[in-house]
């Protein structure tokens, strides 16, 4: 049982899904592809934590709808109270910062443009995700009993993180532009 396996049963606790659905859902906060997910689902099924129902389709490929078993539900509870391992973050961007002081101003500006574009794209994604959620959910999203609750609070955090990222870009730019002149502190620091 690796972390991704627990992630799969955790997502399945919100509702039964196919491996394809899980792949789409999981990508927002855990990089992985279907090639990693399908074998793990089979393993979970063998171990009895999940079961699946095969559904024939005629216009689309047949699919397997996975859901949690009682044994899987039990495992979920044990995992939830176990220690959470620290996050793994690997961002090439942060490496580029280390040599920024050696690069020409126009190159740094282009780099910051790219970073901002990246953040803005993410922002749109999250906004859309929240819209979709509020359409699908009958209850308020701020209902702690709703199956969307986890996704909702997670997306809110991610959204605020990218907004912070955009503020940070502005702040870095301001230092950069004023490097020979006086400093204008745009209040990024707290």
Partner DNA sequence: GTGAGCATGTAACTCGTTACATGATTCT
Partner DNA sequence: AGAATCATGTAACGAGTTACATGCTCAC
Q: Which residues bind DNA (CB under 7 A)?
A: 2-4, 18-21, 24, 31-36, 38-39, 41-42, 57, 59-64, 88, 90
Shortest gap between Cβ of 41 and DNA (angstroms)? 6
User: In the bound complex, what is the minimum distance in angstroms from residue 116's beta carbon to a second copy?
Assistant: 12
Residues 12-71 that bind a second copy (CB under 8 A): 13-14, 29-31
> How far is it, in rounded angstroms, from Cα 175 to Cα 184?
7
Q: For Cα atoms 96, 160, 30, give the angle at the middle one, nearest 5 degrees.
A: 65
N-term to C-term CA, the chain: 41
> Can you give the C-alpha Rg of the chain in angstroms?
22
The span of 33-41, 47-55, 58-66, 141-149 binding a second copy (CB under 8 A) equals: 141-149
- Which of 30, 33, 31, 2 lies closest to 20, judged by CA? 33
Would you say 55 or 157 has its CB closer to a second copy?
Answer: 157
Of 101, 135, 138, 187, the one binding a second copy (CB under 8 A) is 101
């Amino acid at each position: 049982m690796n972390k991704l396996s627990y992630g799969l049963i955790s997502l399945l606790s919100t509702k039964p899904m196919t491996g394809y659905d899980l792949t789409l859902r999981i990508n927002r906060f855990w990089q992985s592809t279907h090639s990693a997910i399908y074998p793990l689902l089979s393993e979970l099924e063998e171990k009895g934590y999940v079961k699946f129902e095969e559904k024939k389709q005629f216009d689309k490929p047949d699919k397997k709808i996975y859901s949690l078993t009682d044994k899987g539900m039990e495992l979920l509870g044990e995992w939830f109270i176990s220690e959470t391992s620290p996050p793994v973050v690997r961002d090439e961007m942060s490496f580029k910062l280390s040599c920024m002081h050696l690069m020409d101003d126009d190159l740094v500006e282009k780099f910051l443009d790219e970073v901002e574009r990246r953040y803005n794209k993410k922002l749109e994604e999250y906004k859309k995700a929240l819209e979709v959620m509020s359409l699908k959910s009958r209850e308020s999203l701020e209902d702690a009993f709703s199956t969307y609750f986890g996704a909702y609070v997670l997306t809110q955090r991610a959204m605020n993180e990218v907004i912070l990222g955009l503020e940070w870009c502005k702040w870095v730019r301001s230092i950069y532009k004023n490097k020979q002149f006086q400093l204008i502190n745009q209040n990024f620091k707290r």
